[in-house]
A and B are shown apart, each in its own frame.
Chain A
Amino acid sequence: MTPFQRDMIAMLPRLRSLARALTNGPADADDLVQLTLERALKRPDLWSPGTRLDSWMFRILRNTWIDEIRSRRRRHMVLVDTDADHVGDRGAAVVEDRLMMSDIARAMDELPEDQRLAVALVLVDGLSYREAAETLQVPQGTLTSRLARGRAALIQKLDPELLS
């Protein structure tokens, strides 16, 4: 086993918990990790030895996730009428999926993508602000702002009972 392989295998649990915080269910999260792995292993030459493997993997995970969200929107656009009369069936399925989620997962699911990423990297993976900002390739001030807005939004979305 090469150091690259060892480090990559050691990262799998972290990728998975991050994916769980970003997506809305265990199956989605595992598919996201699998696609991330597939992309990373297809082009390992894109990783520069000496740089952080976790940041590289997290970036691939982020890109994979964003790509998937966009293609879901495209599918939704071509498949579903925009007038309210006809969204009923799919709406019901969404409501059902969401009923299975914990309150916190549901609140996370409602955050804008950039805020959800910031919250997941810092509160789930435990990265410092500097590390999270480097991973997302944004200034640290931007990271802090997304993180604070995301967490303030979670307070708004959660039942006050849960927060007391």
Chain B
Amino acid sequence: MTEDERIVAFLDDELDAQARAEFSERIRADASLSAQVERHRRVKTLVGSTFKPVAGEPTPQTWSDAILAVGQAGGFHPRQRAWAAMAACLVAGVLAGRLAWPTQDVLAPGARVGGEIATALDRQGSATAAPVRIGLSFRRGDGRYCRTFTSIAAEVAGLACREKDGWLAQTVTVWRAGPDTSYRQLGSSTPSAVLASVDELIAGAPLTAEQEVRARGQGWRPD
């Protein structure tokens, strides 16, 4: 046991009576040990006082609704597969709303897009099979080129526009291609948040394959 392990076990009341008595004795005799114990005691208090009160806040109604909805599927028989499948449908219905866990980790509008995705935006044609899939390309009102992209491996979808110094994010969201999402059924792999952003920016029609090749040849610079 390291000294820190002994200290935390002491503070958490995880030492047996004898070890506890011996350790208390050492603390009394050793000022630097005693100071470290006090720092650990303070950390314990701080962590507790920061996060424990969260448990006192009322939780969202949708959470308990989802739990109760499961019961309406015919009672709880955890070993029955059919029941579990029914529950899954209900849960999906009640908890529907967010497609995935937050978008805040994904690029903010205006952030520079780099890595594999920037390479794909530069070089790849639309609707080609590749780790990063480019959906469509179009021009904005100011003539600049924009392209949508998705990456199943990275669970991300977005729209970026080519500015002077590279591809800048317009909308980049977390995106997971579920086994039965409507995106695939529609033959499109672009989520609605990204499509909305396209609608907002597009001037005219999406580029044809020929226009795309020409734009790529010019490094995606507006004329």
Q: Which residues of chain A have C-beta atoms less than 8 A from B4's C-beta? A: 148-149, 151-152
Q: Which residues of chain A have C-beta atoms less than 8 A from B80's C-beta? A: 45
Q: Which residues of chain B have C-beta atoms less than 8 A from A76's C-beta? A: 105
Instruction: State whether the Cβ of A62 lies closer than 8 Å to any Cβ in chain B.
Output: no
Q: Which residues of chain A have C-beta atoms less than 8 A from B78's C-beta? A: 4, 44-45, 47-49
B152-170 residues at the A interface, CB under 8 angstroms: 153-156, 166
Contact of A16 among B57, B76, B79, B91 (CB under 8 A): B57
Instruction: State whether the Cβ of B68 lies closer than 8 Å to any Cβ in chain A.
Output: yes
Instruction: State whether the Cβ of B63 lies closer than 8 Å to any Cβ in chain A.
Output: yes
Contact of A9 among B54, B67, B110, B153 (CB under 8 A): B67
A107→B67 CA distance, assembly (Å): 34
A20→B51 CA distance, assembly (Å): 7
Instruction: State whether the Cβ of B143 lies closer than 8 Å to any Cβ in chain A.
Output: no
| Contacts known (A5-B68, A30-B60, A37-B66); A20 close to B104, Cβ less than 8 A | no
A98→B220 CA distance, assembly (Å): 36
| Contacts known (A44-B70, A148-B5); A17 close to B51, Cβ less than 8 A | yes
Instruction: State whether the Cβ of B106 lies closer than 8 Å to any Cβ in chain A.
Output: yes
| Contact indicator B54/A77 (Cβ below 8 Å) | no
| Contact indicator A79/B88 (Cβ below 8 Å) | no
Q: Which residues of chain B have C-beta atoms less than 8 A from A60's C-beta? A: none
Instruction: State whether the Cβ of B136 lies closer than 8 Å to any Cβ in chain A.
Output: no
A155→B35 CA distance, assembly (Å): 12
A34→B105 CA distance, assembly (Å): 18
A16→B155 CA distance, assembly (Å): 25
Q: Which candidate, B19-27, B114-122, B180-188, B204-212, is the interface stretch facing chain A? A: B114-122
| Contact indicator A41/B70 (Cβ below 8 Å) | yes
| Contact indicator B118/A81 (Cβ below 8 Å) | yes
Instruction: State whether the Cβ of B127 lies closer than 8 Å to any Cβ in chain A.
Output: no
| Contacts known (A89-B111, A151-B8); A45 close to B84, Cβ less than 8 A | yes
* Most chain A CB atoms below 10 A, which of B9, B40, B50, B104: B50
| Dominant secondary structure of chain A at its interface with chain B | helix
Nearest chain A CB to B51 CB, angstrom units: 4
Q: Which residues of chain A have C-beta atoms less than 8 A from B110's C-beta? A: 89
| Contact indicator B104/A41 (Cβ below 8 Å) | no
| Contacts known (A16-B59, A17-B55, A155-B40); A2 close to B75, Cβ less than 8 A | yes
| Contact indicator B52/A17 (Cβ below 8 Å) | yes
| Contact indicator B98/A34 (Cβ below 8 Å) | yes
Q: Which residues of chain B have C-beta atoms less than 8 A from A79's C-beta? A: 106-107, 113-115, 117, 154, 156, 172
Closest 7 CB pairs of A and B: A81-B114, A89-B111, A17-B54, A13-B55, A148-B4, A148-B5, A17-B55
Question: Which B residues lie at the A interface, using CB under 8 A?
Answer: 1-2, 4-5, 7-9, 12, 14, 36, 38-40, 42-44, 46-48, 50-57, 59-60, 62-64, 66-68, 70-71, 75-76, 78-81, 83-84, 87-88, 91-92, 95, 98, 101-102, 104-108, 110-118, 132, 151, 153-156, 166, 172, 174
Question: Which A residues lie at the B interface, using CB under 8 A?
Answer: 1-2, 4-5, 8-9, 12-14, 16-18, 20-21, 25, 27-35, 37-38, 41-45, 47-49, 68, 71-72, 74-82, 86, 88-90, 93, 97, 102, 104-105, 108, 119-120, 122-124, 128-129, 144-145, 147-149, 151-152, 154-155, 158, 162-164
